[in-house]
Amino acid sequence: MKLTKVSLAALVALGAFSSVASATPLEEAIKNVDLSGFARYRYTNDHYKNSAQSDTKKSSIGSHTFRMQTAFKAAIDDNFFGVLNLRYQADDGSGDNAGRKFNNRYNYVNNNGTDKTNTTGSFGVYEMYLGYKVGNTTVTAGKQLLGTFYDAKDLAGTGIKVVNTDVPGLTLAAAAFDAIESESMDTSGPLVSTLVDSGLFSDSSANIYYLTALGSYDPLSFKIAIANVSEVAALYGADAGLNFNVNDDVSINGKAQYVHNESDNKNVADANFWAVQAGLKAYGAKFNAGYLDFDAKNKDSDAKNKGKASFVTLDGNGDLINPAKILNGAMAGSQQFYNNIKGDNDYWFINGGYSIDKFGFGAGYTQGKGYSWGLSKERAKRSEWSLDASYKYSKKLTFLSWYAAAKDKKDGASYKQDRIRFEAKYSF
C-alpha cells in the first residue's frame, strides 16, 4: 500500500473521529489535523576484525536504511485529542550482503545472492492513542512512545501516561505500560527482545511502571526517575546539572548521574551506574570531559551470580551519559549497551567540537577497561576515537556524517570494529 493512500486514509479517519465528536463538517475537521514527522536516509558500514579467529581478514557489512514517520494529531474538542503515527522502515544491503551470514558478525559463512532493494518492508501503526488535557494535566492512553529516562525515545508500548506541570519549573509524570514492542528497528541492545520474546522471563509479566520528577531552576536542573519492570527489577536514578552563562558567548556546565538496579528475579544481577561530566562552550567551540563507571554482580569469578543478566537502562543507553559512538553501544553485534552489562567497567573521555555558520565539526576519545562481548573477556582494555561533521541546510533539512574506530584488547587477543555513517534528514 502506498504511503500517500494510507496518509489520506489516516486524515479521513482522524477527521471523521473529530467530526463525530464535535458535530462539525468533515471538511472542516480535516483542516484542523496537525501533521508532523520526518523522512530519513542512513548509510552505515561496519568493519570487523577478531585476532582470535582463523580468518583475520576484515569483513564488511553495509546497509541503506530508509525511515519515515508521519504523525497526525486531531483536536476532538477543547479537551480531547487523538494521535496516529505511521512508520515505514526498510533496509537495503550494500556490498553484496544479501543472504550473507556472519559468525559473531565478522566471519563470512555463505552468500545466497546479490543485494536487492526492499520495497515491502515494515510499514504500520507506530502510535495510536487518545489524549485528554485539562489545565496543566495531560492524560494519554493507547499505543505510544515510552519516553522515559531509561529508553532511547523510540520504543513504543501500550499503556497510560499522566503528565502534570502545575508547579512552575517542575514536571511530574507517571506511566504504566502493559505491553512493549520488540521490533529490532526500534530497540537497541538485547534486553527488550529478551523480556518480550525469550523464555527467560516467562514467569514474569514484565509490565513497566514509571515515575519521574523533572525540575529546571536556572542554573540548576534535575531529574529523579523510578522504573519498575514487574517481577524482574527496579531502576532508581537521579540526574543533576548546572549551567552558568558567563556572557552571551561563554558558558560552563556540569552533570552528574546515578542509577541503581535492584533485582527481584533469580536471573538478574544487581547493578550500579554513575557518571560525571564537565563542559565549556565559548564562541562556537565546545568541550566536555568526564568519567563513568558501571558494574554488575555477575562476574565470572562470582559463582553465585555468574551468567546472570544485568542492566541499568531498558532500551539502548537511555538518557545516561555515553560519550562514545559504538564502544558502549553497537559494538560486537549491538551487545555493549547499558541494558546488557557484565562485570566492572570504567572509562574516561574527552570530546570537542566547533560550529561556524551552518557547519559543525567534532572529535572524541574514550578509554578504559570493561567487559568485551567481542572477546568474551572481563576487564579488557577498551578505547574509541571518532570524528564527525554536520551541515544544517535549513531548519528542516540536515546532513550528518561520522566515523568511529573502537578496539578491545586482552591476553594478546584483540577485537576491532569501525563504523562510518552518513545521514540525511528532513523534518516537517
- The proportion of the chain whose per-residue pLDDT surpasses 90, expressed as a percent, equals 74
pLDDT reported for residue 9: 47
**Position 184: which residue type?**
S
User: Phi then psi for 178, rounded to 5 degrees?
Assistant: -90, -25
d(CA 110, CA 311): 34
Dihedral of CA atoms 6, 11, 16, 21 in degrees, nearest 10, equals 130
Q: Does domain 135-427 have CATH number 2.40.160.10?
A: yes
pLDDT-flagged residues of the chain (< 70): 1-31, 54-58, 95-115
d(CA 167, CA 201): 40
Q: Which three cell numbers stand for residue 418?
A: 569501525
DSSP character string of 141-180? EEEEE---TTS-S--EEEEEEEEE--STTEEEEEEEEEEE
Radius of gyration, CA atoms only, the chain: 23
d(CA 195, CA 384): 30
Domain range list for the chain: 135-427
Among the listed residues 145, 50, 60, the one whose alpha carbon sits nearest the alpha carbon of residue 100: 60
pLDDT reported for residue 98: 52
DSSP character string of 377-418? EEEEEEEEEEEEEEEE-SSSEEEEEEEEEEEEEETTEEEEEE
pLDDT reported for residue 55: 54
Annotate 27-77 with three-state secondary structure: HHHHHCEEEEEEEEEEEEEEEEEECCCCCCCCEEEEEEEEEEEEEEEEECC
The model's pLDDT over 160-204, given as tens digits with 9 standing for 90+, comes to 999 999 999 999 999 999 999 988 889 999 999 999 888 888 888
pLDDT reported for residue 213: 98
pLDDT reported for residue 30: 66
Please tell me the chain's helix, strand, coil percentages from 3-state DSSP, rounded to the nearest 5. Answer: 10, 55, 35
